[in-house]
């Protein structure tokens, strides 16, 4: 489906089923130079399974309009505004998030959590926040999910960070190559994104070569998106503060053959986060949603399982 947000169309794939904000909501957030297509194995698996799906194209990516946003913080605000727009979590807080979102884009200082007005429903009524949203982010998308969860703790039931590292530095040489020679930078990233087994064709359906598919997805993004995204990851410094503000459980999924965000980074992050669980996937690279869809889907299914009563 397409949603109009701040005057721009946003593509949010729902798996062919009408979005129902009353159901538990899985929000899939792609990484740099990507779009919703990287989540197709997860969309197909979870569509119609007593949950609503939103696999978004970030601004300036895929079929979403507008220019790519220059920071993780701006992207987190954009995501929260989108969730409010579609009614996810019954937030009734669209005005609040859109206001904060626009303030950041115009350079105004961010409203502190204590300074934000409590959203109202009707005369004298307070909005009811239902934490039924699970944010699932890959790579750059994991930073967006982390920042959004820290900013709106009352909305988020669970956080799933796939192929993540906090901080997520980008080598200066790669940043420069992305700025001056996008095709060469994409080829390098595609090389690193897949495990040796993935390059040999050990993963994927018959007739599909995952590195080739991934490169085609990267190539169809607009010029300048890659440098913007890598620079946003490299500049993000609020990770430790965001981690300290988390109130929801966190699942980390890491590939042991990931050469972009190493499993060691995920292990260090798991030690810093209360109520965290780390799932390590053997012989799997950074593109783990495609290389190991069954394992990734099973890890997400565990997140959706009802919490035992105490």
pLDDT band for 106, please (50, 70, 90 cuts).
Answer: very low
Residue range 245-261: mean pLDDT, rounded = 97
Class of domain 2-169+236-304: alpha beta
pLDDT band for 15, please (50, 70, 90 cuts).
Answer: very high
Indicate if the pLDDT at residue 93 is higher than 60.
no
Residue range 34-63: mean pLDDT, rounded = 96
Residue range 226-241: mean pLDDT, rounded = 98
Residue range 192-218: mean pLDDT, rounded = 89
Highest mean pLDDT (candidates 91-95, 117-121, 184-188): 184-188
Provide the pLDDT for residue 92. Answer: 38
pLDDT tens for each residue of 151-162: 998 899 999 999
pLDDT tens for each residue of 71-81: 999 999 999 99
Domain ranges of the chain: 2-169+236-304
Higher-pLDDT residue of 56, 116: 56
> Minimal CA–CA distance to 61: which of 200, 220, 213, 185?
220
Provide the pLDDT for residue 225. Answer: 98
Q: In Å, how far are 27, 150, 167, 268 from 241, measured between CA atoms?
A: 23, 9, 11, 16
DSSP states along 107-140: TPPPPPTTTSPPPB-SSS-BPPP---EEEEEETH
pLDDT tens for each residue of 114-132: 333 333 333 333 444 568 9
SS3 40: helix
Provide the pLDDT for residue 125. Answer: 37
User: To the nearest whole number, what is the mean pLDDT of the chain?
Assistant: 88
Report the distance separating Cα 139 and Cα 128, nearest Å. 31
pLDDT band for 202, please (50, 70, 90 cuts).
Answer: confident
> Minimal CA–CA distance to 27: which of 144, 124, 120?
144
pTM of the model as a whole: 0.88
Q: What are phi and psi of 306, to 5 degrees?
A: -60, 140
Partners of residue 45 on adjacent β-strands? none
Indicate if the pLDDT at residue 281 is higher than 50.
yes
Report the distance separating Cα 13 and Cα 11, nearest Å. 6
């Amino acid at each position: 489906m397409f949603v109009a947000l701040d005057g721009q169309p946003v593509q949010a794939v729902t798996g062919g089923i009408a979005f129902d904000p009353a159901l538990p909501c899985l929000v899939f957030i792609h990484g740099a130079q990507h779009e919703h297509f990287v989540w197709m194995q997860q969309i197909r698996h979870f569509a119609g399974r007593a949950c609503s799906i939103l696999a978004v194209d970030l601004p300036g990516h895929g079929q979403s309009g507008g220019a790519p946003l220059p920071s993780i913080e701006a992207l987190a605000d954009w995501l929260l505004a989108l969730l409010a727009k579609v009614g996810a979590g019954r937030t009734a807080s669209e005005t609040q998030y859109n206001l904060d979102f626009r303030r950041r884009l115009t350079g105004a200082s961010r409203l502190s959590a204590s300074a934000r007005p409590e959203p109202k429903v009707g005369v004298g009524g307070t909005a009811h926040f239902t934490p039924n949203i699970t944010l699932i982010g890959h790579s750059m998308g994991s930073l967006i999910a982390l920042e959004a969860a820290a900013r709106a703790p009352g909305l988020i039931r669970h956080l799933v960070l796939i192929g993540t590292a906090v901080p997520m530095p980008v080598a200066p040489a790669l940043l420069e190559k992305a700025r001056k020679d996008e095709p060469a930078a994409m080829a390098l990233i595609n090389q690193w994104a897949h495990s040796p087994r993935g390059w040999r064709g050990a993963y994927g359906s018959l007739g599909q070569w995952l590195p080739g598919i991934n490169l085609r997805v990267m190539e169809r993004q607009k010029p300048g998106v890659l440098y913007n995204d890598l620079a946003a990851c490299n500049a993000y410094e609020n990770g430790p503060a965001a981690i300290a503000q988390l109130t929801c459980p966190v699942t980390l999924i890491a590939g042991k053959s990931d050469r972009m965000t190493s499993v060691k980074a995920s292990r260090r992050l798991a030690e810093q986060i209360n109520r965290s669980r780390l799932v390590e996937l053997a012989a799997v690279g950074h593109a783990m949603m495609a290389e190991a869809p069954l394992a990734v889907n099973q890890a997400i299914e565990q997140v959706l399982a009802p919490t035992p009563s105490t």
